[in-house]
Structure 1
């Protein structure tokens, strides 16, 4: 009898992870994943369709937002796998579950594109803030990842929104200390 190189194992593989996510943690990470995935899609939509004043600056800023969203999507999905959660980044799941406001279709004036992408950046940041404490209680290591995501998203929102702000007249008003 000849042995082939591709023999199937008949015994069950058993791993002994120090920590596994529960359903609540898995659900929170899935929501963050979906929102980040949608942010990357919206960023490219804006990148392709924004027109008007300061187009070039916005075009480059949108690339930075998309790169960050994609990097964080991958980091969150890989963290999910490390915790024995199967991430779902499909377009169907993203469309059904995203908590981001819809991005306008067609050509979009640069100011409107800025307002829309900033709203989406803050929506993802809101999701991260909403789930943070429960994630931290379940797994502080995963909460550390969310800290990085939140810090960068809020920085990108500030950098992008600054294009539309006016000193002393924007809402929310700046706090002067």
Structure 2
């Protein structure tokens, strides 16, 4: 079986692997969280929030792939299996059933704020071991912060 040889040393690869795996879990669950909200949304601002949630899903899916492919390029195996995501996600899930638009906006604002905090920690952690991965994390953080601002403005 062929494997990808990492350009990083063992210690650097360990730090980067942890950062990328955490980011992967966050992005996979963010896409699921936003889709769940998208499907069950109700309220006056349905159309605007419904469409905005699709933007978040698209962002999350794009960076899920980017994080996984970056990991593979470094000889790190990403784990995006449903069980892994379910076991490791710190994202508080929505209640089942219909959810009012104001609750969805508040929940998305909170979730995005939590993700931004974790992504900023990953940016700091990867500064020395791998600036290329850090750059990807900075880019994703910037997009998350923009979405956070847009949801927060609706509160």
TM-score (structure 1 length as normaliser): 0.81
Unaligned runs of 5+ residues in structure 1 are: 1-11, 165-177
Answering whether residue 111 of structure 2 is matched by residue 91 of structure 1, we say no
* 2:60 alignment counterpart: 69
- Alignment deviations for residues 86-119 of structure 1 (CA, whole Å, 9 cap, x no partner): 0001111111101212222210000001111121
Structure possessing the higher relative contact order (Cα contacts under 8 Å, 6 or more residues apart): 2
Alignment partner of 2:139 out of 148, 161, 175: 148
Q: Rate the CA distance shift 1:14–1:160 in 2: closer, same or farther, 3 A.
A: closer
1:6-35 CA-partner distances (Å, limit 9, x unpaired):
xxxxxx868655335522221121011101
Distance 1:14 1:65 in 2: 33
Structure with greater helix share of residues: 2
* Coordinate RMSD, CA, aligned: 1.7
The gaps in structure 2 that reach 5 residues or longer are none
Corresponding residue of 1:5: none
Counterpart check, 1:161 vs 2:152: yes
What residue is the counterpart of 1:39 in the other structure? 30
The TM-score, its normalising length taken from structure 2, stands at 0.92
Between structure 1 and structure 2, the one with the greater Rg is: 1
Q: Secondary structure at the match of 2:53?
A: helix
Match for residue 15 of structure 2? Answer: 24
Q: Does structure 1 retain, via aligned residues, the 8 Å contact 2:3–2:75?
A: no
Match of 1:9 in 2: none
Q: For this pair of structures, how many residues does the alignment match?
A: 153
